[in-house]
Amino acid sequence: MPELRRDPLIGRWVIIATDRAKRPVDFVTSQEEPLPQGDCPFCEGKEGATPQEIMAVRGNGGANGSNGPGWSVRVVPSINPVLRIEGQLNRRAKGIYDVMDGIGAHEVIVETPRHIANAADLSTEQLHAAFQACIGRIADLEQDPRFRYALWFKNYGDIAGAGKIQHSRSQLIATPVTPLRVKEELVGARRYFDIKERCLVCDIVIQEQEAGTRIVLESEHAIALCPFASRFPFEVWILPKRHGCDFGRVHPAALADVARLFKQILSRLKAALDDPAYNALLHTAPFRAQRGKIGHWKTIEDDYHWHIELIPRLTRVAGFEWGTGFYINPTPPEEAAKYLREAAVE
């Protein structure tokens, strides 16, 4: 009997097909013709192919912003930004509709100077440095009063939207509105907190630790698990064990653990699913520096819990999912967690 499971945070129901559970071999992965390495704008020595760098991690030699080689992580404005940094929001009405100018920041965090496609193949230290760069950028973007949120995300593989450039990178998009999905989580988290005066995600972590069946990996400060109401097969969330609403203020030891688990999970997905395309994204509290704790997010420090969502792209999202916002997941998260726990990685 398939099950309907409800995500306790935002209330979304998911169909988990427990009967005809799909194993890793049941999914196929596809690849598009990649751009030759020589044309990659993100490789060391090709700094001139990107817009002027915003920041870089340079061991010795080469000042920050020097736009030359000698870096290990580099942040540049996107070559094809979806939002533009200059200008005012210009919020206005158009009859019944609301519209504003497409203002925002769109930055690319190049995670390695070498031409490596999958972040699974980077060292933990390298990923750690990339996360630190991300925190630096978020802190800077938060100072801009026009922005309400910055989404960190990562696309790997053609069907996950990575395009033809096979060089490991993540992206940061700062938006002038709090995105709907984040807002749904904030509302759900606060509703739970209003009743229990506890963080829902902290409660989930405790329950998952007791059950054990959906945990993939656990370290001192972080935990990786397949959520109870996973939308997608082999969906994995990485969470800090200690409560915190804001990724930017993560404890240094917890960040090191998150980088370690991130690398581990990516390696296990690669091994278990034959190098699948995936998306990763960070959900953290919206910007508050410029707005104070005004309005309805007054308990956000206590009620919201930041996390990273990892989604291997194995199924096709069809009419049913688009129409309903309700997903059919052919792999129960318990099975997925088991495969990932047992996956052999070097």
Residues 48-87 that bind another protein (CB under 8 A): 82-84, 87
Query: If binding is defined by CB under 8 A, does position 295 make contact with another protein?
Result: no
Q: Which stretch binds another protein (CB under 8 A): 34-42, 245-253, 256-264, 279-287?
A: 279-287
C-beta atoms surrounding 167 within 10 Å: 22
Of residues 231 and 260, the one with the C-beta less far from another protein = 231
Of residues 46 and 181, the one with the C-beta less far from another protein = 181
- Residues touching another protein, count (CB under 8 A): 75
Binding mask 117-146 vs another protein (x if CB under 8 A, - otherwise)?
------------------------------
- Mapping DSSP to helix (H, G, I), strand (E, B) and coil, where does residue 57 land? strand
Query: If binding is defined by CB under 8 A, does position 8 make contact with another protein?
Result: yes
- In the complex, the smallest distance separating the C-beta of residue 233 from another protein, rounded to whole angstroms, is 14
Task: Among 45, 48, 94, 346, indicate the residue that binds another protein (CB under 8 A).
Answer: 94
Of residues 10-39, which lie at the interface with another protein (CB under 8 A)?
10-13, 15-18, 20
Q: Calculate the alpha carbon distances from 241 to 8, 218, 251, 255 in Å.
A: 18, 9, 11, 11
Query: If binding is defined by CB under 8 A, does position 302 make contact with another protein?
Result: no
Question: Of 167, 171, 170, nearest to 117 (Cα)?
Answer: 167
Query: If binding is defined by CB under 8 A, does position 280 make contact with another protein?
Result: yes
Residue position matching structure tokens 């989604």: 311
Of residues 327-346, which lie at the interface with another protein (CB under 8 A)?
328
C-beta atoms surrounding 273 within 10 Å: 23
Of residues 13 and 64, the one with the C-beta less far from another protein = 13
Query: What values do phi and psi take at 301, rounded to 5?
Result: -60, -35
* Residue 23 DSSP one-character state: P
- In the complex, the smallest distance separating the C-beta of residue 36 from another protein, rounded to whole angstroms, is 20
CA-CA distance, 300 to 307, in Å (whole number)? 14
Task: Among 34, 281, 299, 301, indicate the residue that binds another protein (CB under 8 A).
Answer: 281
Q: Which stretch binds another protein (CB under 8 A): 43-51, 258-266, 275-283, 331-339?
A: 275-283
- In the complex, the smallest distance separating the C-beta of residue 80 from another protein, rounded to whole angstroms, is 9
- In the complex, the smallest distance separating the C-beta of residue 19 from another protein, rounded to whole angstroms, is 9
Residue 90 near residue 101 (C-beta atoms within 8 A): yes
Of residues 58 and 154, the one with the C-beta less far from another protein = 154
For 251-340, where are the E strands, in sequence order? 278-283, 307-312, 327-329
Determine the residue type at 32.
E
Residue 193 near residue 303 (C-beta atoms within 8 A): yes
CA-CA distance, 263 to 257, in Å (whole number)? 10
- In the complex, the smallest distance separating the C-beta of residue 73 from another protein, rounded to whole angstroms, is 19
Of residues 158-217, which lie at the interface with another protein (CB under 8 A)?
158-162, 171, 173, 175-177, 179-182, 184, 200, 203-204, 207, 211
Residue 211 near residue 228 (C-beta atoms within 8 A): no
Task: Among 85, 135, 153, 243, indicate the residue that binds another protein (CB under 8 A).
Answer: 153
Query: If binding is defined by CB under 8 A, does position 317 make contact with another protein?
Result: yes
* Residue 84 DSSP one-character state: B
Backbone dihedral region of 45: left (phi > 0), alpha (psi from -120 to 50 degrees) or beta? left
Within a 13 Å sphere around the CA of 161, how many CA atoms are in the beta-carbon half? 9
Of residues 116 and 326, the one with the C-beta less far from another protein = 326
